[in-house]
Amino acid sequence: MTRWAVVLAGGVGSRFWPISTPERPKQLLPLATTKPMLADTLARLAPIVPPERTLVLTNAGLVDAIAELAPALPRENLIAEPKPAGTAAALAWGAQLVAQRGAREDVMISVHADWAIGDADAFRNALLMAAATAETQHALVTVGVVPVRPDPGFGYIQPGEPAGSHVRRVARFVEKPDRARAEAMMREGYLWNSGIFVWRAGDFLDEIAALTPEIAPHLVAHPNDLARFFGAIEKPIAVDVGVMERSARVLVLSGDFGWDDVGTWAALRRVRSCDEHGNALSGTVHALDSSNNVVHADGNAVVLYGVHDLVVVSREGLTLVTTTERALDLKKLIDTLPPRLRGST
């Protein structure tokens, strides 16, 4: 088997304002560990996929920064998307490149650049098992994560009938539910929809051609022209909607490796080491009689006294203070800021 990795590293990450900006979004920030999240992602993949077969799809403005962060990757493996067109288009282009540079039979492993993974070995083992399944069954395989809490911020997968050892057919995908429904689905054995996808490049391209008219004609018309392909797509479409929910070839493999989609400042309490009072602290921070706070001090010292469940983000010239609950939706705040405070977000 020849394996390729496609890493989705676009987006701005506005929920990590004021640290995350278009020039330095969250995938380039050391949020989960002391290294940028993209660097962690590439390091996790390196033992099973070499740099020359690792593609990174990102925003045009980030190519230089990623090239500096990951010098082992060939420059031609950094793919600059001309505009946001959704994960279905990004992965279709990635599969096309894999088929062109390698073969349609090559296996493509797709991950996102901004995840935290607790057990890298178990993560790689799940990817290898998914790759073997994709190769032998010519299936589109997703790795569903065993949930550890009823999180309404994630999508869910209902496993169906067995389709081989350790793998099941997907009965259905469920978009983000409310908390009560999430609790019920967790009891019923649903899995988190992690966004990990593994397939042979040709199998995925065949499903695009058969099931995704929003993309397929443009891929045929512009197989070697990135700008025209992305430019022809009228509306972004997610791969879950455009392919996975429409395909009868989707299988799910259960994974348990400490996966977390680090989507908000509040999520850092789950992925960072916390002190004895549940505070997730980064930088120069002194906390007294304070608990369950998230503090990111970039260049400034922060002192907490008698406060709980806060998010404090400090950088030169600007400090954000909110609650862990309100940190879930910073876009509403950003939209109201005057330009001098909004800066380059």
Question: What number does CATH give the domain 3-261?
Answer: 3.90.550.10
Q: What is the mean pLDDT of residues 63-87?
A: 95
Tokens representing residue 231 in the block: 């430019």
State the Cα–Cα distance between residues 115 and 97, nearest whole angstrom. 24
Residue 228 CA, distance from chain mean position: 26
Sequence-distant (≥ 6) Cβ neighbours of residue 185 within 8 angstroms:
150, 156, 158, 174, 177
278-301 per-position pLDDT tens digit: 999 999 999 999 999 999 998 889
Residue 114 near residue 35 (C-beta atoms within 8 A): no
205-216 per-position pLDDT tens digit: 999 999 999 999
In this prediction, residue 344 has a pLDDT band, given cuts at 50, 70 and 90, of: very low
Residue 173 near residue 252 (C-beta atoms within 8 A): no
State the Cα–Cα distance between residues 339 and 345, nearest whole angstrom. 10
User: For the chain, what are the domain ranges?
Assistant: 3-261, 265-329
